[in-house]
Structures are given as structure tokens and as C-alpha cells.
Structure 1
């Protein structure tokens, strides 16, 4: 599928960079799906596979970009995640997409996975330009997710780390960093699961991904509650994809959030864990259902 490099400015002046995918043959203005990755992940980490699948099977374009402070996009401190800013960047990406001459400005959808799967629930609720929301294996409640992932006996030490990092920043020191993943799940990391280590260590060898994230990002994750207003996404159509064996963003949390969403909404439960929808047989099942949803909504 044709792909070109793009860049756009955020409301606070950063340049975010990514790709714009379109079908091989197109006629007139097409719907556009805005896509960004999850916690610390880069656009190279399978977002191109999803975008190519959508543009191969639908009359749709895809705008894919790296989150601020990561990959090819600008921003500092590097490898810091402030949820509200990433959510705001989605809306700026929508504005940029609407400005393109080959995009139908009235048919914009948003796609997110894991951490950004939560972001799109916020953006879909407050940005009425959005006409379809695809939320894949989303983090829906940071407090509950944090307490599922981090052992209770580790939390006092982590709280002390949060305090020390704030004091260090105030004195002018560089932000503290911790690993995103670690081979030993008992060691400190932001994603202490075996499948997280396998996924990210694989991409570390073949991309520019770095195994670090700021301490503040973890503190802000715990406070992030993206599904709080999930009922406000309606009447925009919502598709939530949940992995039944997900230990990173547990399915019961996602299903509880989905129960509070209003119609029109669709739920797709796929086998496997958090990362199994990105590749192999599960990718076809996952992306195929998302393609059908886009056909029914954005491309109707």
C-alpha cells in the first residue's frame, strides 16, 4: 500500500512524525483512521501491519504517528508519558488529517491499543469529530491496573521512588528512569510480565525502541482513569477488543468498563494474551473483525 512520511504540529508546538497510508487505487476523498501505539511503543511495532491491512481491504486511509517523546517525534523529557498530552495529540492528529486534500473531514476514526486503547475512550468521548472508536486491549483504569501488576510489598519502595524523583526534578536534576521490561519479573520494571519482556526485547533488537521510561510516567499511569467517561462515547460507535488471557490489561477490568458504555457498541474477545492480536492467526481474526467494524461505520 502507498505510504508517505508525514509530520504535524501539536497545540503546544511539538512536531509529531509518522506515516500516511492510502489504498493503491482511490477515488476522491476517503475516511481516515488515526492510529497511535501504546505504552512506550513505536509506530514500527506492527502499526504498519494494521494500517496496510485496513487500506488493502477498505476504501480508507490511515494516519499513523509516534507519540510525543518517543520514536521520530519531538518532545522532552524523552520517554515520558503524560496521558492527557497524548490524548490531546490525538485531537491534533485529527485536525491534521482533516486538512489533507484526500481525506473526508467528516469521516475520522481513532484506533488505540493498550495504553492508547484507553486514550481513544477519552478522545472519543470529548471530540465529537470522531465517528468511530476502536479500543484494543485497553488500559481502562490505571489505579486497578497498577495494583494488579505491582506486588503490594513493592509498592512502598515505588512510592518512595516517586517522592525522590519529584524532589530531584525540583532541584534541577534529570528525570529518573526505570526499565519498561526486565527478564526477571521480580525486578523493578513498569511491565513485569513474561510476555511483555518477550515482545519488547524482540523489538529492541530491530527498532529504535529503548527500554526505559520516566518514573513520573508510572506515577501518572496509576492516576490515569480513561474509562471514567466511557458512557459519553455514545452515540459514536465503539469496538472494544479484549484478550481473554491478558495479564497486562486484565480482561475483567475491560469488560466492566465495556458494560458501562452505551450503544452502539461491539465487543470482540480474542484468545491469547495482551500481544497475541498483533501477529499470526490471531492478527487475522483481530484485524478482520476491526475491518468489518470500519466497513459498517466509517466506510458505510
Structure 2
């Protein structure tokens, strides 16, 4: 197996990605983390599993995360992140002389919403969306009501800072739940993904609070024609499971699987082994 650390140019910045070239006869799996995460946050557990199945992998960080450069550090913006995805996809296609039919898009949480969005625009070999962000308005209903106004004020402040090229940050998770991700299990859940003795920058520009309610992949999922597996978490504290189920019903090309677990249990046993088995069963039937 060959491992390459590469930089993919995009606008004035670059996306840092790791390539694992395992078997040129099998597709490339392109993956990235969810809101606030980077490649170091437990993605290696899935990278290793896919490598053992013989797949090639491209794992990247969005602009501003990890070793990827960007105008703002840790900016979560669905439009710019979708552009990141498209830049990585184009790079892999050009570098290895591939088409979309050679690519499997893999996302989790917020990036799960991205891969569903991309699948609504173009046909790929397959898409796997794990506990995906599907309906920002529905997720907003789960936000602690006492924090709605303070979070909105912080986000508006950040929008003002943006005029001057600056950012006002907000915690991704917090013990008191005043954070972008406010579920009861989010603080312990997110920190369970961070490697021991590694610093994780637990903050993002607060403007995401204003834009995330309007990001609704559920509204375009009926356009998906790519073979797609959506994995839902029945005890998800961030994404109403009813909306995940509804999204999966929108297209006959979507297969749905559900686990009795929480939003961060994708990376914990016994759920991880069962979910990985579902991934490989789904992909095997496409070979």
C-alpha cells in the first residue's frame, strides 16, 4: 500500500488530504469528518476497516481545519465545504483517470449532509451517509431554548466581525450545552473521539448558528439516483430520527439502516462493528 500526503489547491488556499492507494482495481472512498472535526478525530477506525477490504481512500480536511489552510480557522460553511468536496473529487478524477462511477462518497453528521447534497447533483458509484445532517430546521427544535437568543446574538456579532475579516468564535461543545452542538451527550461524545494527549480546538466561527437551520438536504434527497446508504442513530441528540427516516424514503435509490445508539456511537463498540458490516454488505452488492 502507498500512502501520500498531498495538498489540493482551491482559490488562494489548499486542502490537505491523505491518500491510501491500496488496489487500483477497486474504487476510491473519499471521506471527511463532521462539524468541527478533522481527520484525527477517530476517522482512522474507518480508514483501517476500508483498507482491510482493499479499497483506496482519500481522507481530507476542509479548509481551515487540520493542516488545510483557509481565510478563517475552523469555519463551518456548507457552501465552501461543498466546494472543497468538489475540488477533492476533481483532483482524484484527474490524478487517477477516474470518473464519478469510480468514487464512493463517505460522510458523517454535517458531512453526511454534504454527500447527500452531492448525490442529488451527480451520480457516483455509491454514497454512505452516517447519522447525516438532513434538516437544519428540525435540528433547531432540539436546541436548548434558553440559549437561542444568546447564540443568535453571538452569531450576529460574528457576522459583523466578518466585515473586517475577523471571527467571533463559539464552542463546538460545552458542558453547560451553550455550544453549536448542544445535545446532552455532545461534550463527552465529542471528546471521546479526540486522541489522548492531543489538543482539539473546540471552537468555530459563530455564524454557523444563523445558516445551519437553512441547510436541508431532505428537501433535495428525492433527486438522488446514486446507490445510497443512510445510517440513522435512533437516540441521536442532534438530528431527529423521524427526519432521517423521512429523508431515506424520498428516493428509491436510498437504502436505510438504523442503530439503537447516539450520535457519537459511530466510533464506539459494539455499534461500530455492526455499522461497518452494513457498509460492506451494501458496497459488496454493487461490485
Would you say same fold, with TM above 0.5?
yes
8 Å contact from structure 2 (residues 221, 247) kept in 1: yes
- State the distance in 2 between where 1:204 and 1:176 align: 27
8 Å contact from structure 1 (residues 44, 207) kept in 2: no
- State the distance in 1 between where 2:91 and 2:45 align: 22
Deviations 1:108-153 (A, max 9, x none): 110100000101111111133x2211110011011221221x2233
- State the distance in 2 between where 1:191 and 1:284 align: 25
Structure 1 counterpart of 2:159, from 137, 154, 166: 166
Kindly indicate whether residue 237 of structure 2 is the aligned counterpart of residue 247 of structure 1: yes
Structure 1 counterpart of 2:169, from 161, 171, 177: 177
Aligned residues: 286
Mapping of residues 216-235 of structure 1, within 5 Å? 216-234=207-225
- Aligned partner of 1:17 in structure 2 is 16
- Aligned partner of 2:182 in structure 1 is 192
Structure 2 counterpart of 1:96, from 83, 91, 97: 91
Structure 2 counterpart of 1:152, from 145, 148, 155: 145
Kindly indicate whether residue 37 of structure 2 is the aligned counterpart of residue 38 of structure 1: no
| 1:37 alignment partner, SS class | coil
| 1:266 alignment partner, SS class | strand
- State the distance in 1 between where 2:5 and 2:216 align: 33
TM normalised by structure 2 equals 0.92
Gaps of 5+ in 2: none
8 Å contact from structure 1 (residues 32, 103) kept in 2: no
Query: Cα 1:204–1:217, aligned 2, differ >3 Å: closer, same or farther?
Result: farther
Kindly indicate whether residue 116 of structure 2 is the aligned counterpart of residue 121 of structure 1: yes
- State the distance in 2 between where 1:269 and 1:237 align: 17
| 1:277 alignment partner, SS class | helix
TM normalised by structure 1 equals 0.88
- State the distance in 2 between where 1:13 and 1:29 align: 34
